[in-house]
Amino acid sequence: MPGPLPADSIRRLTGFGMSVSADGYVYKPANVAEIGAVFKLARENKRKVVLRGAARSYGDASIGAECLILDLCGLSKVRVFDPVSGVLEAEPGITLEQIWNQTLPEGWFLPVVSGTMRTSLGGALAMNIHGKNNFQRGTLGEHVLEIDLMLPSGEIRKLRPNDELFYAAISGAGLLGVITRIRLQMKKVSAGTVKVEAVSCRNWGEQFAAFARFEGKAEYVVSWIDCFAHGDSAGRGILHAAWHDENDPSSLQLSAQTLPDKIMGFFPKSSVWKVFRLLNNRFGVRILNAAKQAQGRVMEHGKVIHQSLAAFNFLLDYVPGWEKSYLPGGLIQCQYFVPFDKAPAVFKRLVEMQQEAKLESYLAVMKRHRPDKFLFTHAVDGFSLALDFKVTASNRAALWELARRMNDYALENGGRFYFAKDSTLTAEQAALFLGRSLKKFKEYKKLYDPEGILTSGLAERLKLV
């Protein structure tokens, strides 16, 4: 038996949704050499390794029971940034927030961002994140010029977009190696604000019509859906389309990007989640949604406002700690990526299924997507519907059963899934969704991680490894 690991390095870890946990031994390397040392330790102790960045994946992608957890947040430096070309070279643990904080004053923003800026760059590439501009700019991986991938053997491969492995390392959920260095092409902006147009939609028909109106025109489009609305009002919500403003250098400064720390000028936002918690039930959310819909109809519809890039893009950071309003059970998110033609019928049915089960999503968001050529791509030429569900001790079994049925239904209709969000797919569903990509992935796994050292809760659940 090998010698024990440091007993006090064990932690109970969860994903962003806090609905599932696992205990692991946490290692936080300060440099690339120390990453290699963790792989060596894992081999000696016959343990597996799970990669973890900022832990913003909702489910079990960054946790693993009794594994060594390689926390990459210690590697968080920008190595080089060229303000002329906009090429950034950085370490994987840096957050998107740290990146744009450094580059925006020079006129460069991230080409693709997640709904929270507190994701790590390495994690964002492992999941190949998209943003509200997916239909225009693709995924973050499409803007990467080069990465270093450290294999569990310790060998470092330099990968560029003409390498086949590049498309598996990015999107591969951190199961083939550690991305230790990233060269990323940033996006030139001449203002730190966007022009936002709001469209209040009374039903699914108006939602899809509004998306069609901005197709190919707006830079960003995102819509909120009220999953409690039924009948003729089903699919109601508010769509926001946005365009980058131009030639306003003063708005590039960070002082123009700070999210306000008070609501209505006096209510401290750090406490808002406690109020949310009181309303975070079927009754409360039904009322809130109706109020939001009415407010959107009366006060926002057809209006144009200007918002900072941070305020528009990072809605999830607007109310700090909002996810805690879902405690003690946490939340899961189910996100369905459905082909263009099928989306109207499929989304309508997915919401009906929730209503029939009396397990409506408390927050639903719709976006437009385009396909990409990464191995575990989640995107389609179509739409996605992202659904947040509150998990409680009493609804857990019924919620997973609803998710199983919704997953099956989406699969039957060419649906795809996103590992950054998933908590509910089964191994059989994942195999159907991934098809030949899974076979290809397993070939890569044999080649680049023959001992099967890299894993995760997600990988075990979906039998990816």
Partner 1 sequence: MANPFRHAIVIGGSSGIGEELVKQLAASGYKVAAVGRNEAKLREIATPYAGTVITFKHDVREYDKVPALFQEITKQLGGLDLFIYSSGVMPDVEMDEYDFDKDRAILETNLLGAVAWLDQAAIRFDKTGAGTIVGIGSVAGDRGRGGMPAYCTSKAALATYLESLRNRLSTKGVKVVTIKPGPTATPMTVNSKFKNMMPADKAAALILQKSKSGGEHYLALPHRVIFFVLRNVPSFIFRRMRI
Q: How far is the CB of 282 from partner 1 (least distance, A)?
A: 20
117 vs 453, beta carbon nearer partner 1: 453
Task: Select from 47, 56, 181, 368 the one that contacts partner 1 (CB under 8 A).
Answer: 47
Tell the burial category of 12 from Cβ atoms under 10 Å away from its Cβ (0-12, 13-18, 19+): exposed
Q: Please list every residue from 75 through 114 that binds partner 1, using CB under 8 A.
A: none
Tell me the per-residue interface mask from 394 to 413 with partner 1, x by CB under 8 A, - otherwise. --x-----------------
Q: How far is the CB of 452 from partner 1 (least distance, A)?
A: 15
- State yes or no: residue 264 binds partner 1 (CB under 8 A): no
| Part of the chain binding partner 1 (CB under 8 A), chosen from 201-209, 262-270, 301-309, 325-333 | 325-333
CB neighbour list of residue 125: distance below 8 Å, 6 or more residues apart: 92, 140, 141, 144, 147, 169, 170, 179, 182
Q: How far is the CB of 59 from partner 1 (least distance, A)?
A: 13
Task: Select from 21, 101, 153, 233 the one that contacts partner 1 (CB under 8 A).
Answer: 21
- State yes or no: residue 3 binds partner 1 (CB under 8 A): yes
- State yes or no: residue 329 binds partner 1 (CB under 8 A): yes
- State yes or no: residue 451 binds partner 1 (CB under 8 A): no
322 vs 374, beta carbon nearer partner 1: 322
Q: Dihedral sign, CA of 331, 73, 125, 130?
A: positive
Q: What is d(CA 218, CA 194) in angstroms, rounded to the nearest whole number?
A: 11
- State yes or no: residue 59 binds partner 1 (CB under 8 A): no
Rg of the chain taking only CA atoms, in angstroms: 22
Task: Select from 231, 250, 393, 435 the one that contacts partner 1 (CB under 8 A).
Answer: 393
Residue length of the chain: 465
| Part of the chain binding partner 1 (CB under 8 A), chosen from 7-15, 195-203, 208-216, 283-291 | 7-15
- State yes or no: residue 436 binds partner 1 (CB under 8 A): no
Tell me how crowded residue 205 is: count the other CB atoms within 10 A of its CB: 14
Tell me how crowded residue 154 is: count the other CB atoms within 10 A of its CB: 13
- State yes or no: residue 203 binds partner 1 (CB under 8 A): no
- State yes or no: residue 5 binds partner 1 (CB under 8 A): yes
- State yes or no: residue 369 binds partner 1 (CB under 8 A): no
Q: Which two tokens stand for residue 125?
A: 């590439």
- State yes or no: residue 2 binds partner 1 (CB under 8 A): yes
219 vs 388, beta carbon nearer partner 1: 388
- State yes or no: residue 23 binds partner 1 (CB under 8 A): yes
- State yes or no: residue 290 binds partner 1 (CB under 8 A): no
- State yes or no: residue 12 binds partner 1 (CB under 8 A): yes
328 vs 450, beta carbon nearer partner 1: 328
- State yes or no: residue 415 binds partner 1 (CB under 8 A): no
Q: How far is the CB of 399 from partner 1 (least distance, A)?
A: 12
Q: How far is the CB of 389 from partner 1 (least distance, A)?
A: 14
- State yes or no: residue 43 binds partner 1 (CB under 8 A): no
Largest Cα–Cα distance of the chain, in whole Å?
Answer: 69
191 vs 453, beta carbon nearer partner 1: 453
- State yes or no: residue 20 binds partner 1 (CB under 8 A): yes
Q: What is d(CA 385, CA 215) in angstroms, rounded to the nearest whole number?
A: 17
| Part of the chain binding partner 1 (CB under 8 A), chosen from 13-21, 263-271, 346-354, 375-383 | 13-21
Q: What is d(CA 361, CA 383) in angstroms, rounded to the nearest whole number?
A: 18
7 vs 30, beta carbon nearer partner 1: 7
Which residues in this chain contact partner 1 in the complex, by CB under 8 A?
A: 1-5, 7-12, 14, 18-23, 47, 65-66, 328-330, 391, 393, 396
